[in-house]
Structure 1
């Protein structure tokens, strides 16, 4: 998907809280919004080249969103609102091979006590599939992990996917890795063992576990290739 808004290059200074960052843009220090509540500590370091999306809403407190950063020579998109949009585009374009048969795509649908990112169905609506999407930014030497901070809702969502599977629906979780050239993915046992254990249980119970990397540049991001999963 192409970004429709203007993108500018800046320099990261610090992150006083999880919602905001101080950056330099055109030799001016300013506060921008960070659309990711994860830690991103290995990415957002002082002096790092970052990319800012201009937001033209006059009611906003900040004029820019910090959507991507360079980690060495790797460009990582950190916008937590992007994964669902990228996956929606990929579903429409039939780029996720295991989900080709689902022609009807509905977003933000409730099952049990959870709201899943997608409810997919075949044209005759005889087959229904619930899909949850998680954006991944934590990377180390080609290996990615999720989450980079404890997630209260993460394990609950997985248990609801298991219940959907038990009731005869299709169910899956897709980890969208917001960078390219990634070799493997695994749950982050050290950061959130409850989530990791729930994911392994889901695999045992027949829930699909998918991971894809992305082609990323400063003006676009697109689902790319499947990544090997290590559970």
Structure 2
């Protein structure tokens, strides 16, 4: 998918809270919105180069969203609203081999006590619930999730087990919002309970996918599946 709004580069200064950051742009310090509740500490480093997307809503307090940054030469998209859009595009184009049989794609559907990102179905009546997690944490080609504790994420995974037990298909897809990585693994150091939930889900037949992306400052699309180490 392409980002059609204007894109500009800026220098990162600081992030006083999850949703706000200050950057140096056009000769002045301005506040921007951060569309990611994760920590992103290895990306949002004082003095680093970041990428902003211009927003046109006159009611907003900020004119830009901070959607990505450079870690050395590597560009990483951090927009938490992007993964579902990228995965939907990939599903429509049949890029995820195991899910090609599902031609009906619905967003934000409920099963039990959880709302999942996608409900997939086909003309034979088969149903599949899919949860998507955006991954921005990388170190020497290893990618990890989460970069902040997520009780909600753990509950989603355990609810996917219940989906599977009901006879429906279930999966979680970790969308790595960058290229040039080798494998994915749960970030047990940050959230041991989430890692445990991933392994429980996997043992109970829930599909665990990880895909890296072809990504640039104004585009991102699903690329190749990567190894998962549980």
Which bracket does the TM-score occupy, shorter chain normalised?
over 0.9
Q: Deviations over 1:65-118 (max 9, x none)?
A: 000100001000000000000000000000011100000000000000000000
The alignment partner of 2:46 has SS state of coil
Matched residue, 2:5: 5
Matched residue, 1:84: 84
Matched residue, 1:214: 213
> Partners in 2 of 1:97 and 1:156 — Cα distance?
26
The alignment partner of 1:40 has SS state of coil
Matched residue, 2:41: 41
Matched residue, 2:96: 96
Matched residue, 1:117: 117
**Alpha-carbon offset, residue 26 of structure 1:** 1.3
The alignment partner of 2:151 has SS state of coil
Matched residue, 1:52: 52
Instruction: Please show how residues 174-185 of structure 1 align to structure 2 within 5 Å.
Output: 174-185=173-184
**Alpha-carbon offset, residue 152 of structure 1:** 1.6
Provide structure 2 residue ranges, at least 5 long, that are not aligned to the other structure. Answer: none
**Alpha-carbon offset, residue 119 of structure 1:** 0.1
> Partners in 2 of 1:60 and 1:79 — Cα distance?
17
Matched residue, 1:14: 14
**Alpha-carbon offset, residue 43 of structure 1:** 0.6
> Partners in 1 of 2:25 and 2:89 — Cα distance?
31
The alignment partner of 1:153 has SS state of helix
How many residues align structurally? 230
> Partners in 1 of 2:28 and 2:90 — Cα distance?
38
**Alpha-carbon offset, residue 28 of structure 1:** 1.5
The alignment partner of 1:108 has SS state of strand
> Partners in 2 of 1:127 and 1:193 — Cα distance?
33
> Partners in 1 of 2:151 and 2:11 — Cα distance?
32
Matched residue, 1:130: 129
Deviation beyond 2 Å, 4+ runs, structure 1: none
**Alpha-carbon offset, residue 203 of structure 1:** 0.6
Q: Alpha carbon RMSD of aligned pairs, Å?
A: 0.5
**Alpha-carbon offset, residue 123 of structure 1:** 2.4
The alignment partner of 2:83 has SS state of helix
Matched residue, 2:196: 197
> Partners in 1 of 2:194 and 2:167 — Cα distance?
23
> Partners in 2 of 1:222 and 1:76 — Cα distance?
13
Q: TM-score w.r.t. structure 1 length? A: 0.99
